[in-house]
């Protein structure tokens, strides 16, 4: 181990993580600085296209592919929760404590941060036998803007990636949930929102149980 | 009476047909085989016309002569490569006008319009079609390069753009 040098100065020949010459990495920047910065939509579209291509290698079913996209999004959600709460004003920096505030946080803050606008709808499942299901609706998900799913994969919705992010936010705030993306837009000519997507959030039983106790108290 | 843009054909760099669509009512339809033959033939003709075009070659010669004189006087001018000849760009007939756009990667877009359209009109439409292609085809993870284009969003956007364009004229 004695041959490992501290990485001061002589970073030129070393492989691995590269440091800028002034020694300031992305971690030295204040977290609030990039708050309003925007990224190129085209670069994201190409990157996401490659991510989908990567995830569709050696898959056995469409569910496999959606699962992989979901897994790619999950860590982003976990980290995003921390970042967005940190950026809130000091007295509202607590994490969401019940389902409604959590879903509102996702619909407004998370969506605004990721896509520049709030989600288009938030609904509770109308089926009384499924009180644990909520729906977040996006009329035209940004990730799907340039994607045409081939006919033989018609069940696929690449917004499974966004579902993964939502799942990460829910898990991070101690509301374990399964989130899936479903296309509900009709493909007819002249349809306003052919890419309309519903994110179905299904909370774990223990969350519902806790929510029940809290409601009574 | 048909107006505006009549048809669009896209040919890949190997001369294969990858997209074709007509936009007017009452146009005679070719069968698929004829479209393939048409695309292949046009590809060949385009290659020949690219070799024929004399204007650019003259420019290149002049450039070379210019460089010779300048190098003899001691000026270190960077030799500039002449632009490659572009080949067939517009074909006009009694009934239609054909505009061809060759991308940097060799994909060819053929836009058939009526004879009343000006060069500028067709250029604007061509540019928009190329925009739509680079957005909704090239950014689609399920599209394989050089293969026939089957992208719903591309179809939808193209249709609505052309319809709007044709009805405004």
Nearest CA in chain B to A53: B141
Tokens 């052919």 belong to residue: A194
> Which residues, in sequence order, are CB contacts of A125 under 8 Å at separation 6+?
A131, A133, A134, A135
Q: B108-113 and B97-102: which strand pairing?
A: antiparallel
Please write down the long-range contacts of B47-53, taking CB distance under 8 Å and 24 or more positions apart: B47/B87, B49/B87, B49/B88, B50/B84, B50/B85, B50/B86, B50/B87, B50/B88, B51/B85, B52/B85, B53/B85, B53/B86, B53/B87
CA distance A99 to A203: 9
Predicted complex ipTM: 0.78
Measured between CB atoms, which of B136, B150, B156 is closest to A146?
B136
CA distance B145 to A53: 13
Tell me the three state secondary structure of residue B92: strand
Tell me the three state secondary structure of residue B6: strand
B134 vs chain A: nearest CA distance in angstroms? 10
Judging contacts by C-beta atoms under 8 Å, the chain B residues touching residue A72 are none
Report, in angstroms and rounded to the nearest whole number, the Rg of chain A calculated over CA atoms.
20
Identify the pLDDT of residue A53.
Answer: 93
Measured between CB atoms, which of B141, B151, B153 is closest to A52?
B141
A164 vs chain B: nearest CA distance in angstroms? 19
| Run means of pLDDT, 10 residues per run, chain A, 217 residues | 48 64 79 76 94 92 94 95 88 86 94 93 90 94 93 91 97 95 80 90 94 79
Identify the pLDDT of residue B17.
Answer: 96
Kindly determine whether residue B156 and residue A52, on different chains, have CB atoms separated by under 8 Å.
no
pLDDT tens digits for range A76-110? 999 999 999 988 888 878 888 889 999 999 999 99
Identify the pLDDT of residue A80.
Answer: 93
Which portions of chain B are predicted below pLDDT 70?
1-2, 53-82
Q: B5-11 and A197-203: which strand pairing?
A: unpaired
Rounded-to-10 torsion of CA B140, B145, B148, B152: 0
Kindly determine whether residue A50 and residue B141, on different chains, have CB atoms separated by under 8 Å.
yes
Nearest CA in chain B to A47: B139
Identify the pLDDT of residue B64.
Answer: 60
pLDDT tens digits for range A28-49? 878 776 667 788 999 999 999 9
B142 inside 8 A of chain A by CB: yes
Tokens encoding B168: 């405004």
Measured between CB atoms, which of A45, A53, A148 is closest to B153?
A148
Measured between CB atoms, which of A147, A187, A194 is closest to B140?
A147
Kindly determine whether residue B139 and residue A46, on different chains, have CB atoms separated by under 8 Å.
yes
Kindly determine whether residue B151 and residue A153, on different chains, have CB atoms separated by under 8 Å.
no
Identify the pLDDT of residue A26.
Answer: 75
Nearest CA in chain A to B159: A189
Kindly determine whether residue A49 and residue B141, on different chains, have CB atoms separated by under 8 Å.
yes
Kindly determine whether residue A153 and residue B142, on different chains, have CB atoms separated by under 8 Å.
yes
CA distance A193 to A204: 31
CA distance A114 to A35: 11
Judging contacts by C-beta atoms under 8 Å, the chain B residues touching residue A148 are 136, 140, 142-143, 150-154
Q: How far is CA B41 from the centre of its chain?
A: 15
Q: Which domains does chain B have, with CATH numbers?
A: 5-167 (3.30.450.70)
Interface of A to B at Cβ within 8 Å reads: 42, 45-46, 48-50, 52-53, 56, 146-150, 153, 158, 187, 194
DSSP string, A145-213: TT----GGGTT--TTHHHHHHHHHHHHHTT--EEEEEEE----STT-S-TT-EEEEEEE-HHHHHHHHH
> Which residues, in sequence order, are CB contacts of B149 under 8 Å at separation 6+?
B10, B18, B19, B137, B143
Q: Which domains does chain A have, with CATH numbers?
A: 40-216 (3.30.1380.20)
pLDDT tens digits for range B13-51? 999 999 999 988 778 888 999 999 999 999 999 999 988
A165 vs chain B: nearest CA distance in angstroms? 20
B83 inside 8 A of chain A by CB: no
**Residue A138: C-alpha distances to residues A72, A75, A108, A184, A197 (Å):** 20, 21, 12, 10, 5
Nearest CA in chain A to B141: A49
Rounded-to-10 torsion of CA A27, A30, A31, A33: -120
Mutate to test the interface with B, among A147, A148, A195 (most CBs of B within 10 A): A148
Tokens encoding A100: 């409604």
Inter-chain contacts counted by CB atoms under 8 A, chains A and B: 41
């Amino acid at each position: 181990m004695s041959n490992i040098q501290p990485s001061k100065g002589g970073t030129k020949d070393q492989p691995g993580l590269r440091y800028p010459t002034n020694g300031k990495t992305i971690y030295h920047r204040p977290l609030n600085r990039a708050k309003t910065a925007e990224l190129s939509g085209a670069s994201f579209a190409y990157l996401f296209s490659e991510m989908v291509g990567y995830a569709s290698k050696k898959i056995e079913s469409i569910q496999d592919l959606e699962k992989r996209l979901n897994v790619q999004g999950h860590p982003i959600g976990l980290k995003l929760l921390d970042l967005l709460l940190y950026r809130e004003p000091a007295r509202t920096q607590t994490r969401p404590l019940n389902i409604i505030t959590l879903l509102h946080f996702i619909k407004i803050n998370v969506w605004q941060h990721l896509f520049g606008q709030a989600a288009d709808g938030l609904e509770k499942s109308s089926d009384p036998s499924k009180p644990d299901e909520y729906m977040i609706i996006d009329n035209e998900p940004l990730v799907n803007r340039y994607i045409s799913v081939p006919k033989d994969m018609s069940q696929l919705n690449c917004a499974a990636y966004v579902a993964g992010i939502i799942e990460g936010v829910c898990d991070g705030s101690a509301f374990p949930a399964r989130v899936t993306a479903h296309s509900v837009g009709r493909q007819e000519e002249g349809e306003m929102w052919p890419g309309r997507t519903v994110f179905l959030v299904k909370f774990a039983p223990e969350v519902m149980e806790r929510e029940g106790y809290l409601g009574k108290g | 009476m048909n107006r505006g843009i009549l048809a669009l054909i896209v040919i890949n760099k190997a001369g294969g047909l990858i997209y074709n669509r007509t936009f007017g009512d009452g146009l005679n339809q070719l069968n698929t085989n004829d479209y393939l033959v048409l695309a292949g033939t046009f590809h060949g003709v385009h290659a020949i016309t690219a070799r024929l075009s004399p204007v650019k070659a003259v420019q290149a010669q002049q450039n070379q002569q210019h460089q010779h004189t300048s190098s003899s006087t001691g000026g270190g001018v960077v030799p500039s490569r002449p632009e490659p000849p572009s080949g067939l760009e517009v074909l006009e007939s009694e009934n239609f006008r054909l505009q061809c756009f060759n991308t940097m990667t060799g994909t060819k877009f053929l836009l058939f319009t009526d004879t009343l359209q000006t060069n500028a009109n067709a250029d604007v439409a061509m540019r928009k079609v190329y925009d739509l292609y680079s957005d909704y085809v090239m950014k689609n993870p399920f599209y394989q390069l050089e293969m026939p284009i089957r992208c719903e969003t591309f179809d939808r956007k193209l249709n609505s753009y052309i319809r709007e364009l044709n009805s405004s004229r």
